[in-house]
Chains A and B, each alone.
Chain A
């Protein structure tokens, strides 16, 4: 009998009703075909309309439905239940480390603040040509694996360093974007960008735990980008010392 049912254990919290969050169990007919975790949530919401979660594109490009699925962060809309259900059970929790607004919805203010901190926009004060600025395909290739980030926060909220210092450690998502602009041949504020990251926390709290790489639903590698930033920081420091030396 139990073989046809799926047991979903879901983190529930409504600040107007609940003093504390709790895990609620739902039993649902096992779908006849493989569906995504997001589809499962839709089915549950039809039964219990009080369940709250974010969703938009339902195809893994908007980054709305990051959540913790059986202990691992991922996007509900591109995670097939067949890949996560174990012994007919699945556990859904909000992304860890951020305040919960309700159920699976977290307050992403701190995450976005870190993104804004790295000045996530191209800086180039030279007069723009009438047409586009030229960029070689090789230089453009350097942005692959960086610009595709969807800001779902799966990486930063899986990072113990971000859990400890969400206000001071920039976190993998925003660092990936920091490197996206450092790597762009059209951006001219390299030195300023590096100096803004040179304190002991912004970048150096990354200890290479690699959770970010293992959870990124887009297959990106923030850890590698952070490594690149660290070596740029090192070179930049050397340059400053050398140029100081030259002045003496």
Chain B
């Protein structure tokens, strides 16, 4: 790679639609587009089946009425609205829950090897926060599963069907920055081939950010090493906003020490959490549904147990997940992957012993704000204003169906429902003549700056050191419990880290499979997401869903029943209304959220 890359010496590859990211939402969108005849490509920094969707375990929540023939998508909608602590957009949640069954049946038709009930229908298991009859009919079992490898089965099925439809893949290509023209339209991305180092302008009429989450902003996370928020960071750098960035889900059961996820399905199948005294403490915090309360509720209860000295182990710093009472047969049939992970990473066989677990960063509820068609929007004069050419789907997007807390099993549904919707919308839009204007040479050069800077760096900070510093700062000051004065310290640290992130030294400047260059850019991406998170968390003076403030312990609907919108240019927060206008049902008004 030359140290001075300009528009004149890179090639332009032109597509109708470009999807950045080869995980669940990206490949569901590309599948829709590949069938349409539009020239589509998926650019992915890893071979698609290495994307993080592969790690999803327990399932995909959807009212397909298999376990309970009377199940109703409206009940699922109620649970999701309540789980979101009432700042999920109800039009989007309605779309998610009502379109869900179609999207799930399509996956089955594509070949997804769902587990089955005796009658041949798709197996469903109970997950947290699920109810029948709008919370009045007891626990529901609504999560469709392929054993405890649902994400793997889903991702492979989508890849397989993309192979069938002949989708173009630019595998192991890394997108660096979006290109935007003078009208503030997105016209594609600058990307390079990780294998050869070749840089190109991937030009498109529609660019979809399907780049997943950024759990790696925290030191302890269930997320893959590749979850660095690349798409969100690219749009932030381009000046586009991010929504609800203070909302990060800490999953109750990450394996202590290793961080690997242990599915909520374990508790759905009858497992439960115990403290050092062997007490099933969730009975105290959520007397009705116990271990199947919302994830935010369970995670906080666990942290309180640890803080009050009832944690397990030598340092009393974790909790046990008890499964042995389920018996070897159930564990081997329903949770084989968990048994494997537990043996490998906790050195514990759950058939005989409990698994040591601790709340671990798991999911980014926030992201690029979009409507149900995946269209990203900006905020101009307090009005939503669509950004032509820019779309987002999946964890990278904030549509917003998860609000302040995502329910288990809703992320896989989000991926397929909104990946599909985005693909369908782009198809219609481009076929009816929609699109964007071209970018000038100067516009493209602007997007090459960061790459050039790194390639020219002769001294500066080491990526690994700065990354560690960033992750520890976020873990210490912006974790499960937050406090204004701590967060202020965190913000000061972050401003020092920004200086380092902007002055990284890339020692290895070679072209062939240079993972150091990738990691340096990923760190810069993590930083943008971390900063958005920190500022949003500091500003929201209340406790809601995953955002728990020691200094503001109550939910404050008068002031904060709204989205927070982070503007990367002014680094400030504005409020945006939550949608309370679903079209097929009456809106669910906010109530006190108990389980």
Residues of A in contact with B (beta carbons under 8 Å apart)? 14-17, 45-46, 49-50, 52-64, 78, 101-103, 105, 107-108, 112, 116, 119-122, 124, 128, 130-137, 140, 143-144, 147-148, 150-151, 181, 184, 186-187
- B102: nearest chain-A partner, CB-CB: A130
Q: How far is the CB of A32 from chain B (nearest CB, A)?
A: 13
- A218: nearest chain-B partner, CB-CB: B340
Whether the pair B344, A60 counts as a contact (CB closer than 8 A) is: yes
Q: How far is the CB of B196 from chain A (nearest CB, A)?
A: 9
B464 interface neighbour in A46, A105, A148, Cβ under 8 Å: A46
Given the known inter-chain contacts A46-B464, A128-B109, please indicate yes or no for A150 contacting B152, CB distance below 8 A.
yes
Q: Is the C-beta of B341 less than 8 angstroms from some C-beta in chain A?
A: yes
Whether the pair B160, A101 counts as a contact (CB closer than 8 A) is: no
Interface residues on B, range: 35 or more
Whether the pair A102, B49 counts as a contact (CB closer than 8 A) is: no
Whether the pair B224, A56 counts as a contact (CB closer than 8 A) is: yes
Whether the pair A62, B507 counts as a contact (CB closer than 8 A) is: no
Q: Is the C-beta of B515 less than 8 angstroms from some C-beta in chain A?
A: yes
- Of B117-125, B298-306, B378-386, the stretch lying at the interface with chain A is B117-125
Q: Is the C-beta of B115 less than 8 angstroms from some C-beta in chain A?
A: yes
Whether the pair B156, A147 counts as a contact (CB closer than 8 A) is: yes
13 A-B contacts (beta carbon < 8 Å): A52-B512, A56-B51, A58-B224, A58-B225, A78-B344, A101-B195, A102-B512, A103-B513, A108-B47, A121-B161, A134-B119, A134-B120, A147-B153
Please provide the chain B residues from 58 to 102 with a CB less than 8 Å away from any CB of chain A in the complex.
Answer: 64
B510 interface neighbour in A50, A133, A148, Cβ under 8 Å: A50
Q: How far is the CB of B344 from chain A (nearest CB, A)?
A: 5
Residues of B in contact with A (beta carbons under 8 Å apart)? 46-47, 49-52, 54-55, 64, 104-105, 108-111, 113-122, 146-147, 149, 152-153, 156, 160-161, 163-164, 195, 224-226, 258, 260, 337, 340-341, 344-345, 462-464, 507-508, 510-516
From DSSP, what is the main secondary structure of chain A's interface residues?
Answer: loop
- A64: nearest chain-B partner, CB-CB: B50
Whether the pair A62, B54 counts as a contact (CB closer than 8 A) is: yes
- B45: nearest chain-A partner, CB-CB: A56
Residues on B with beta carbons closer than 8 Å to the beta carbon of A59: 55, 258, 260, 341, 344-345
Q: How far is the CA of A140 from the CA of B145 in the complex (A)?
A: 12
B111 interface neighbour in A16, A144, A186, Cβ under 8 Å: A186
Given the known inter-chain contacts A130-B105, A131-B105, please indicate yes or no for A57 contacting B50, CB distance below 8 A.
yes
Residues on A with beta carbons closer than 8 Å to the beta carbon of B49: 62-63, 150-151
Residues on A with beta carbons closer than 8 Å to the beta carbon of B337: 61
Whether the pair A120, B516 counts as a contact (CB closer than 8 A) is: no
Q: How far is the CB of B425 from chain A (nearest CB, A)?
A: 23
Q: Which 3 A-B pairs have the closest CB atoms?
A: A122-B111, A134-B120, A132-B108
Given the known inter-chain contacts A50-B516, A120-B163, A136-B120, please indicate yes or no for A57 contacting B510, CB distance below 8 A.
no
